[in-house]
Chain A
């Protein structure tokens, strides 16, 4: 079992690193969206600092969503998913390993990029710890929920916009808690409550979403 998960992780990592654009594009998108806001609302440092928790979280959420659109698409188009369905391995384990590998590579890059963007928006450096922690706890939930949508829309020719429509409402709790944590630390209050909630949401989605993702994939492949 462990050997097989290892070879899955290796395969996913190879595929991601051999097409680095797909890895880098969401990061550029993240930076670009953050850069749009000062241009839209004006460069006042005070205003930007106050808005920064929400801005960073909305941008991160959209970047994660964007990176997930192609999560299963190439596997669907070249028939790999059929092989997955017809393998003796449990599909839920397969998809969980795949989504987590994707998160470790693309999600972590996002988390690492975020402090730079936060400093550009004027977020005080003592909030950076909370920022990183909230993104670390929140983005796995975003990836797993998004993977459900990606699985359901993988067979559609233009699934990208539909994916956003299906999944963004489900992202709202993470958005509220994540930006709430950052807001609290910006006001000098403790953010441990929100962080703990983010952690429990991550555990909940980690437990339930693999079944929804594999059900979605079976429906899309069986079409």
Chain B
């Protein structure tokens, strides 16, 4: 039962149809959550007693950092599925998600450095978490660069899968070695398992932002995947019919 679903998921046509049903809902959820979270976080949440208003950047910084890390794990999971079950859709997902994850990492780095200016007095501090984030960005660059360097599409996807898996095994080692290298850092702001030290009016909008960012990530990745599926399957009858339906005036050669 689950296996038939699994193989159905591998079919590009089925994916294209089901994702067109998911997308509007997901997009609405993303917009709703992001707007609510931003307004609540930036306007209504109380000031931090130490950092004043400058702390409000965590409503961007923390979700972006979450997505940066989850994004790489997503790459590795897609890579594993692609290598073990040879599912083409996982290849598509991996290559669609890599640039989005990289942008999230850039966002986390930029907001982190902006946050650093009022907090530490400089734009950049070799703080353990910022440094790990920088290394994560390089890991993303590696996957993207490898994917673009290999011309054969299937080989590129497989090579990226191997690299993402090697990277994900290394991430904890890198993280702990960097933390050991620089033990001067703030404790993690927000964990899912422990009750946070922040008051509820502060962390609730943060939670909303995190969920909103996940929805946004899903929407962007799904849209990129749909485009890639259309390009890959451009010779098949259903794609020709789909293009005929959405763009009746143009004829596809």
Contact = CB atoms under 8 A, between A and B. Distances in A.
Find out whether A and B make contact in their complex, taking CB atoms under 8 A apart as touching: yes
A8 to B, nearest CB: 23
A169 B83 CA distance: 23
Interface string B130-160: 0000010011011001100110100100110
Interface residues of B, number: 27
A215 interface: yes
B32 interface: no
Given A166-B142, A212-B166, A220-B155, A156 B174 contact: no
B167 to A, nearest CB: 7
Contact of B150 (A155, A165, A168, A212): A155
Interface stretch (A16-24, A39-47, A93-101, A173-181): A173-181
A162 B149 contact: yes
Nearest to A197: B177
B162 A169 contact: no
Given A212-B166, A219-B162, A169 B149 contact: no
B146 A180 contact: no
Chain B at the A interface: SS class: helix
A216 interface: yes
Chain A at the B interface: SS class: helix
A156 B149 contact: yes
B146 A162 contact: yes
B178 A176 contact: yes
A159 B146 CA distance: 10
Contacts of A173: 170, 173-174, 177
B241 interface: no
Contacts of A170: 166-167, 170, 174
A106 B139 CA distance: 27
B81 to A, nearest CB: 15
A152 B170 contact: no
Q: Which of A148, A162, A168 is packed against the most chain B CB atoms within 10 Å?
A: A162
A168 B158 CA distance: 21
Interface string B112-146: 00000000000000000000000100110110011
Given A152-B163, A156-B150, A201-B173, A219 B181 contact: no
Contacts of A148: 162-163, 166
Nearest to A179: B181
A147 to B, nearest CB: 11
B28 interface: no
B174 A215 contact: no
B218 to A, nearest CB: 27
Contacts of A145: 166
Nearest to B155: A223
B169 interface: yes
Interface in B228-253: none
B180 interface: yes
A215 B80 CA distance: 12
B107 interface: no
A222 interface: yes
Contacts of A176: 177-178, 180-181
B145 to A, nearest CB: 6
B152 A223 contact: yes
B165 interface: yes
B126 to A, nearest CB: 12
A218 B247 CA distance: 41
Nearest to A177: B177
Given A145-B166, A172-B177, 4 more contacts: A170-B166, A170-B174, A212-B165, A223-B155
List the 7 shortest-distance A-B pairs measured between CB atoms, nearest first. A173-B177, A223-B155, A169-B138, A166-B142, A219-B158, A176-B177, A223-B152
19 contacts: A145-B166, A152-B146, A152-B159, A153-B146, A156-B150, A165-B141, A166-B145, A170-B166, A170-B170, A170-B174, A172-B174, A176-B178, A176-B181, A208-B169, A212-B162, A219-B155, A220-B155, A222-B155, A223-B152
